[in-house]
Structure 1
């Protein structure tokens, strides 16, 4: 048996080929539908449109311009972009990570389109919740590098990692491409992201009025209109509307991968909330040294006595004798004709500012609510009072309206970093936490590929701390450069300079994760939850492309004798193998020395790699037998793949002997780089 070399262009050298997978699915369902045709001297698979019409009927197949749906100039190119495999890789950055050896969380720095492609083999069908807060279409320039010909090179240039620097096209309303540019950015990312969702997976997308309609059309096409779950309105968002109408809300569109699967799984009833609070109580009882004997009977008394302690050490911001409240809403009457009376402020004793249309409740009901401590007063009487909303207010459903002041997110970051206006309008942790708690159960994977300030990661960590479970997160953030001259970026740029980090948004994201995790540990020193993360960075492949020219053919051939980039480490190679062979980036890696050479077993032995730079004929036999012995010890489920450096074999004898011994012992998949 020969050792098969992984050449550039081979399936193991690039991300999943979604077009090939789609053709394979079609062929499995309708073998007669897929045929072949000649293209540039090659035989390639093709779909026979005539056969398609005969299978489903002529009237159901159309390429007409006038058809229902969303269309824009560039849509075909956007779809093509999504289906083009990536040849890039993700390089591990242990020094920038926290708890590398134990964490199951990922923070990936790179263009999210390329990263999503690279995650396909390892994470397809494994993500329970995708939350994204994409850049809103404000007429500013986009920084996402969608170069169809060479997206990795374009990304490296755009982020200043190689010489060049591409000019970013303007997206002003006057350009005529105000909506099309934004759609061409978001559409391919949604197409790829859908493949990562589990059957019961859910996607939540934050958006404002400018692109809500376009986004809903795009999501109907990508996820299916039948999988639309609903729209959540976040009331309390910052007004950014230049017209005479103050827009103080944003939207979260919610879609599922398969609504039938979600309906039976995606639930979080009031009983679930009670159970979660009881578990929290048991843990806190030991921590606080309480002598309460009956948990169920004494729960409310315990909360009343330890209200401040609970608020300090749980993920719930607000706890009182009535339980845990998650937010609030104004008690004004939405239309004229409400109840008019004075509500004295408990501190100033003066009447609080009354609502324009009066109160929603009559005065006796308001007095009952005040007596029950269901009413929230401001610091003084200058604010309209609000009513608390509790965990049990919604029986097994999310409310379509969430009331939460947008300033909460900024205040959280201001307190964490000690500076003002680090990010523009970051989402509050409480907003995402309330959504994630409803959807993401213990063990679930949460993905955010527009990570921004990193609110998603903090929300996941706080949920895990509350119930002691192990939800995981994957964040992706473009290392967009911060300019000290830009009024919206100068604070972030100054902070990065202060801590000695590159001036990019991704550096702020990572620092937020470090500080959020440290804060949780300070609040609870005995915390055993995962507050770490592994950092990876998008880069060109460790395998150099065959890029010969007529002028430099001889030098190209010499360079290609070893097509592994000499600047890359063994760790770089190992993690590219994980990606291209479909293994989790947090899978355990074991190392031992055999025949004086380090070998690595990944994922319990499903992948065994020796990346030493020299294997002589005399070393090939003991090395092969050592691999065989370790494989027996590990006893992995399924086939084993062994990988070596192609240039390491001193001659063909060393390569042939090693491959023959491995095959004799049942290891048939032997590859070389």
Structure 2
């Protein structure tokens, strides 16, 4: 059984080296990069002049290095602050977004379709604190009162500072660099900004995303603000793609094709009927045999045949009884006819999703939005918050309709949207609103620093000690309001208005420090834990989610539990991973995992145990052998 000694975030430097090896294998000798050989391979593309066009500032080198560093932190689940923990696909992360972005690298690399951020504009009043690149995680824990050290205060970046612009650029650069990794190849980032740093932001975005991937600089007429000479009526939104060559034109309602369920809740409008499906229809599922009856409010019954997915196709002829929402269209498509819906849109195909439910996919048209946006104002943003709270706790909050507009032209039904400067929670609000309107199932990841509220502020008096607390409450209230406003809409009860809360913290695993000063303390620490590498004040679920994060599994995967004796076993993602972190583990735990594995379609799951949790060495050996007998070879301990 292999032992996991360290859990860290994605090593971006190593990842880049591996890519270089694939492209230029001869540039490496005994695992090391031979710079001269690489130069010879790229030939005339080498920049030899000392002076060339570039964007630089005091601190840039440090910022570049920081983007490549791994994080030893983790995200600890907070169920009591979450909403609909077991069913939601949305995430709220409380923590420094620099460290959080590092931790998301493995799980969400190239999976985010859209990023929207409203970062500090660098007005001289809006910086929270300076990054401490020597140990950013420790710095964050100290500043937010999560460690015993006190005295450091949150600061602003004043305009009389000699490195006013440099500090802002150093703060933004590594965050944007990490954000780019998370975007899908056809993903887009929108960044709100004003005149203070618009020019500098565009230059570093050109460097990070590439000038060739610049889409547009949008002008947003946000509303009038008096200034010395002119009344400022606008801000900017910079728009970049990850890979413009992979990005098609914007689509009507944001998508070139729309997909939705082809069954409904049985009713007079949608009566139950039987449709016969031939083998070979697309089935977006790993090999699996489905039961003859499934579904609750929208039941599906297999009348004849075996409902089986094989090689991502329907394996057998099957007759299915359900309340079809478009029965005639389904039958016409099965008969090879061109199917056009009531809106004149061509239905391209019907297919089964991984849950066994029939879906349809139909075409949409392209649109070309204007670069000047005039329909939304910051006053609308303020009114949105006032509609949820008695006070507006934010200065110039963005209106949800602005973010909803961006999402509608960029994202598809189930895409993921990220906002790592969540602030008032506008992006999460906008995503829920858009899903309510078009029936989508987009997911939102929000990241917000628990910046302390001023003790004299209305927010503090209302009981909100930090900004993240307000953000979470705004998302809760916005979700309930959306459901109330759409209470008569069919299927609104299925709208995902929940979110899983995670909080940035140091790793759950005790790290061995061999420095002389710490050696004795390390011995005492491990002695207190009886040799256990897991910190004494951490729960099994804390460790569970650190494992998921570092293994690259999504934080919203379904988790089932079984108890065997005094041991709890976690089944992650319907059998993709099994974890047991209990004490006194014996072979009966492996037997239960083996039985669970037989029900799963995953042929090569991972199994992870706590190394110190086995009752004896013999139990450890028997556990591994029992798992091998059912075909599970990937067994590790932590």
CA contact (8 A) 1:104 1:530 kept: yes
SS at match of 2:474: helix
Q: Does 1:106 align with 2:91?
A: yes
- CA-CA distance at 1:446 after TM superposition: 0.6
Residue of structure 1 equivalent to 2:35: 49
Q: Alpha-carbon deviations, 1:251-275, whole Å to 9, x = none?
A: 00101111121125x32279989x9
SS at match of 1:72: coil
- Paired with 1:494 and 1:257, the residues of 2 have a C-alpha distance of 43
- Paired with 2:426 and 2:112, the residues of 1 have a C-alpha distance of 18
Q: Which residue, 492, 497, 500 being the options, matches 1:531?
A: 497
CA contact (8 A) 1:542 1:564 kept: yes
Gap regions ≥5 residues in structure 2: 263-268, 270-340, 344-363
Q: What is the TM-score normalised by the length of structure 1?
A: 0.75
- CA-CA distance at 1:247 after TM superposition: 1.6
Q: Alpha-carbon deviations, 1:184-233, whole Å to 9, x = none?
A: 01110111111111111000000111111111111111111111111111
- CA-CA distance at 1:436 after TM superposition: 1.2
Residue of structure 2 equivalent to 1:491: 458
SS at match of 2:160: helix
Task: Report the aligned-residue RMSD.
Answer: 2.6
- CA-CA distance at 1:63 after TM superposition: 6.9
Stretch moving more, 409-418 or 580-589: 409-418
- CA-CA distance at 1:395 after TM superposition: 7.0
- CA-CA distance at 1:640 after TM superposition: 1.4
- Relative to structure 1, the CA distance from residue 521 to residue 269 in structure 2 (aligned partners, 3 Å threshold; closer, same or farther) is closer
Residue of structure 1 equivalent to 2:138: 153
Q: Alpha-carbon deviations, 1:107-145, whole Å to 9, x = none?
A: 110001111111111111111000000011112362245
Q: Alpha-carbon deviations, 1:427-446, whole Å to 9, x = none?
A: 01121112211111211111
The within-5 A match list for 1:146-295 is 146-162=131-147, 163-167=149-153, 171-239=157-225, 242-263=227-248, 266-268=250-252
- Paired with 1:453 and 1:604, the residues of 2 have a C-alpha distance of 35
CA contact (8 A) 2:436 2:486 kept: no
Q: For this pair of structures, how many residues does the alignment match?
A: 530
- Paired with 1:137 and 1:659, the residues of 2 have a C-alpha distance of 56
Residue of structure 2 equivalent to 1:305: none
Residue of structure 2 equivalent to 1:19: 13
Which has more radius of gyration?
1
- Relative to structure 1, the CA distance from residue 132 to residue 549 in structure 2 (aligned partners, 3 Å threshold; closer, same or farther) is same
- CA-CA distance at 1:168 after TM superposition: 5.2
The within-5 A match list for 1:498-537 is 501=464, 503-525=465-487, 526-537=492-503
- Relative to structure 1, the CA distance from residue 182 to residue 46 in structure 2 (aligned partners, 3 Å threshold; closer, same or farther) is farther
Residue of structure 2 equivalent to 1:456: 427
More helix by share: 1
- Relative to structure 1, the CA distance from residue 85 to residue 64 in structure 2 (aligned partners, 3 Å threshold; closer, same or farther) is farther
- Paired with 1:663 and 1:505, the residues of 2 have a C-alpha distance of 50
Residue of structure 2 equivalent to 1:307: none
CA contact (8 A) 1:106 1:534 kept: yes
- CA-CA distance at 1:47 after TM superposition: 2.4
Q: Which residue, 433, 436, 449 being the options, matches 1:478?
A: 449
Residue of structure 2 equivalent to 1:446: 417
Residue of structure 1 equivalent to 2:390: 418
Q: Does 1:600 align with 2:558?
A: no
- Paired with 2:434 and 2:204, the residues of 1 have a C-alpha distance of 31
Residue of structure 2 equivalent to 1:128: 113
- CA-CA distance at 1:559 after TM superposition: 2.5
Q: Alpha-carbon deviations, 1:509-558, whole Å to 9, x = none?
A: 00100110111122233532111111111111100221354355344235
CA contact (8 A) 1:423 1:492 kept: no
Residue of structure 2 equivalent to 1:343: none
Q: What is the TM-score normalised by the length of structure 2?
A: 0.79
CA contact (8 A) 2:251 2:366 kept: no
